């Protein structure tokens, strides 16, 4: 079956190369009995791929069982998977078949397999290697013929190093790995998914479908989507129900996106301290970009002055070069401070007289070059703009409220 046919049959939306690669591997491995391990972040749609493998295999007429290993209590997981005999533990009033017995001749999907207790991992390894298991409270060996497909959002090599997952089980499950990419690695698919979800909810709630304007589409694609497809679907439903205006712009969309995931800058994901550092770095980048914009505005202002006062093109060229050097010096600063930087700019007309007083004094350059001062000013402007409403100010600055509170205290702005 072709990839496009598989996507249509199983409701998969997207044209990402990584996504189509995952579908292609699932298609090729389906006719075999090899164990498959599906990896990917939470919410990327891992549960669809075991169904593809099962439906395209010779076991498609057999039983398909999906088990969420993380949702079953540790004390009952063995009984759920392998069954138990009557009286084997308190509450075992009668014998019960486990999933591996029920699914004989079919396929079992073990979602969140890394959540299995170590003792259960030993039992699972035996089933994979010999096709045999023993019910809880029994000594009789039972044979089963089950295809196992597992999935996890955990870094299993790291779990192995921490003693939480058996290395031999990992190698046995990982005969064929399938990686499902997160939404941030398939940006061109994000708007396609949004439109599909919007159409579905419009039909479900009997209302016109919401449509994104261009600025909202850009914001949608630039967002990191930590919850992936599940988060995108949830937000689409919220907007479909709440917003009366069916044309959504970026300002409206921003209200539904958690503030900490706007940046496309490199990020760390481990530890609270790292998260705080990321927020500060994002704020510094914003200050730098504001400084760059100020310099560009200054260049435009000088150009307008020259145009209005009839300055010769040669003089304009010379002074534009000065401003460009100031621009470069500002963003390539080193430990020498103001060494080599111009302390002022004088503009003269063709007769040699001053048009204006010096535009940039040395004290002003020092102020511009101070990131902390610019950061403080940016915070003050944002607080004034929103009447000291810190949540709105933090959104304006692109940082978390916690970071804003700490910066306010640090700069004595309380």
Topology agreement, domain 3-181 and domain 184-257: no
| pLDDT at residue 377 in the model | 82
Q: Assess whether pLDDT exceeds 50 at residue 412.
A: yes
Domain residue spans of the chain: 3-181, 184-257, 269-414
Q: How far apart are CA 123 and CA 82, in angstroms?
A: 9
Percentage of the chain beyond pLDDT 90 is 59
| pLDDT at residue 268 in the model | 46
Average pLDDT in the 247-266 region? 78
The CATH number of the structural domain formed by 3-181 is: 3.40.50.300
pTM, 2 dp: 0.63
CATH number, domain 184-257, options 3.30.1330.30, 1.10.8.60, 3.40.50.300, 1.10.10.10: 1.10.8.60
The residue that leads in pLDDT, 280 or 105, is: 105
| pLDDT at residue 286 in the model | 59
Q: Is 49 exposed, middle or buried (0-12, 13-18, 19+ CB in 10 A)?
A: buried
- Express each pLDDT in 325-372 by its tens digit: 444 444 444 444 444 444 444 444 444 444 444 444 444 445 444 567
Would you place residue 298 in the very low, low, confident or very high pLDDT band (cuts 50, 70, 90)?
confident
């Amino acid at each position: 079956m072709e990839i496009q046919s598989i996507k249509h049959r199983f409701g998969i939306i997207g044209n990402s190369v990584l996504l189509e690669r995952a579908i292609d591997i699932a298609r090729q491995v389906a006719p075999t009995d090899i164990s498959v391990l599906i990896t990917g972040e939470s919410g990327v749609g891992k549960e669809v791929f075991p169904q593809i493998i099962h439906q395209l295999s010779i076991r498609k007429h057999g039983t398909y069982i999906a088990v969420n290993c993380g949702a079953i209590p540790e004390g009952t997981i063995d009984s759920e998977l392998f069954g138990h005999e009557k009286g084997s533990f308190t509450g075992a009033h009668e014998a019960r078949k486990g999933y591996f017995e029920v699914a004989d001749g079919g396929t079992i999907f073990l979602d969140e397999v890394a959540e299995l207790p170590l003792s259960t991992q030993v039992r699972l390894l035996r089933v994979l290697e010999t096709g045999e298991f023993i019910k809880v409270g029994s000594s009789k060996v039972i044979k089963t013929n089950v295809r196992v497909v597992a999935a996890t959002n955990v870094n299993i090599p790291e779990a192995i190093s921490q003693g939480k997952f058996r290395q031999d089980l990992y190698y046995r499950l990982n005969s064929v790995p399938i990686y499902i990419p997160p939404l941030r690695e398939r940006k061109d698919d994000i708007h396609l998914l949004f439109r599909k979800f919007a159409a579905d909810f419009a039909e479900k709630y009997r209302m016109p479908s919401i449509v994104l304007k261009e600025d909202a589409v850009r914001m949608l694609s630039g967002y990191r989507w930590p919850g992936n497809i599940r988060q995108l679907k949830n937000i689409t439903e919220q907007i479909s129900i709440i917003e009366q205006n069916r044309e959504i712009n970026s300002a409206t969309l921003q209200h539904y996106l958690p503030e900490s995931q706007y940046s496309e800058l490199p990020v760390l994901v481990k530890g609270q301290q790292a998260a705080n550092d990321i927020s500060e770095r994002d704020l510094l980048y914003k200050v730098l970009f504001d400084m760059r914009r100020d310099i560009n505005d200054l260049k435009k202002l000088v150009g307008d002055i020259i145009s209005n006062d009839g300055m010769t093109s040669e003089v304009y060229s010379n002074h534009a070069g000065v401003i460009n050097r100031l621009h470069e010096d500002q963003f390539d600063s080193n430990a020498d401070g103001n060494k080599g930087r111009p302390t002022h700019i004088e503009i003269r007309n063709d007769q040699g007289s001053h048009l204006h007083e010096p535009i940039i004094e040395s004290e002003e350059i020092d102020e511009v070059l101070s990131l902390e001062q610019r950061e403080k000013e940016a915070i003050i402007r944002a607080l004034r703009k929103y009447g000291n409403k810190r949540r709105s100010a933090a959104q304006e600055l692109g940082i978390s409220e916690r970071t804003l509170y700490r910066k306010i205290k640090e700069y004595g702005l309380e």
